[in-house]
Amino acid sequence: MQLRYAFRLYPNAGQRTALARAFGCARMVFNDAVRAREDARKAGQPFPAAGELSRKLITEAKRTAARSWLGEVSAVVLQQSLRDAEAAYRNFFASLKHTRKGPRTGPPRFKSRKDARQSVRFTANARWTITDSGRLSLPKIGAVKVKWSRTLPATPSSDTVVKDAADRYFASFVIDTDPATDQARMPHTDQTVGIDLGLTHFAVLSDGTKIDSPRFLRRAEKKLKKAQQKLSRKQKGSKNRAKARLKVARAHAKIADARREFHHQLSTKLISENQGIAVEDLSVAGLARTRLAKSVHDAGWASFLSMLEYKASRYGRVLVKTGRFEPTSQTCSTCGIKDGPKPLSVREWTCTACGTVHDRDTNAAINVKTAAGLAASACGAPVRPGAIPAQREETGSHGFPTGNRAA
């Protein structure tokens, strides 16, 4: 499995200028590739091949006065930008043919220097290195200070330098993990658990444990509101507006970092303690269109379930998703009788058949576990995780990647 290990960077003034130049050059090559393909489409001609684009937009462009500054950055950065454009078009065409999973993807758009996220990628042939003093040496940028929160378990295959909306820099390394080593970190256990996700309590487990929802956005709304009000009063294009925008971005980043850290801690705890985990296959996108949209987004269920999925695959655990239409809140977990729908205001109810008094959420968590087939044994659960793309490991400083907790 591939994972991303990301760490905070602290470039000096000169290195920030060099990185800005690299971001701009990569963005320009990407836009030139999109423009070349759009021109070919409008002219009714076949799309130019990747090799032809590389020759025209990079090799020959460097020799012209209008694009001579492309030679001031690493050629690998420019080649990777072309690869990104190729991948964007492949995803777009696969989406049109309905061969790509997930929501429909639109055609590639032109990138702007005002985009919230800027990035460049260095592969192994770019000859970037980690110095003896622990700095990240990047071609034509220099040795950048890094805050290492842990050692890299293997040699990275690539390094992506990212600048986010809060004006923070991160180095994201792609690492190929060793399955045997990963599974040795999490010994086998006979414990299984069912999880019922909610808003009042973020998660209720089948053993009766209730985990409160931190509500990071709700708790920070007052401070965030003031920052946004100050931003709205600043004149557009002024330096004061840029400073106010940065304060809003940092406030949002702080909320996102805290939420991600909470998800990582909880998902790692559940994975380490249980061999089998059962969850509901929630329609988060549908719930986010209801009157509870802000609370649903604040909870971040989709991010949490994604973490559970890749960690279960990494450490040899079993994750089973039950159907979203399973009547877990209506069925008595003791006798199995379906007692009918109940409004959300009903938090406890008594089964009319056996007389058992149920906590609504705990009963639902038990039914989720039963419906997933984990009530008896986790080993026999019919699940085989498929290929999972590179995920963000919970390493590095707070920010773009995640928090400081170990998996």
Active site residues: 196, 280, 361
List the strands of the sheet with 201-205, edge to edge.
Answer: 210-212, 201-205, 192-197, 276-280, 318-322
Helices 301-314 and 239-273 pack at an angle, to 10 degrees, of 50
Q: For tokens 């032809």, what's the residue?
A: 52
8 Å CB contact between 401 and 395? yes
Q: How many CB atoms lie within 10 A of CB 131?
A: 11
Q: For tokens 């590095």, what's the residue?
A: 396
**CA-CA-CA-CA dihedral for 399, 401, 404, 407, to nearest 10:** 160
Q: Which two tokens stand for residue 131?
A: 């110095």
What is the full DSSP assignment across 71-84? Answer: GGS-HHHHHHHHHH
8 Å CB contact between 78 and 26? yes
Would the CA dihedral through 197, 199, 200, 201 be positive or negative?
A: positive
Q: Which two tokens stand for residue 210?
A: 């209730």
Please choose, from the candidates 148, 130, 147, the residue with its C-alpha nearest in 3D space to the C-alpha of residue 138.
Answer: 130
- The rounded distance, in Å, linking the Cα atoms of 273 and 354 is 32
- DSSP H or E run through 255: helix 239-273
8 Å CB contact between 349 and 343? no
Coil, strand or helix at 320: strand
- The rounded distance, in Å, linking the Cα atoms of 404 and 64 is 47
8 Å CB contact between 201 and 213? yes
Q: For tokens 């820099």, what's the residue?
A: 169
8 Å CB contact between 194 and 372? yes
Q: Which two tokens stand for residue 183?
A: 């599974």
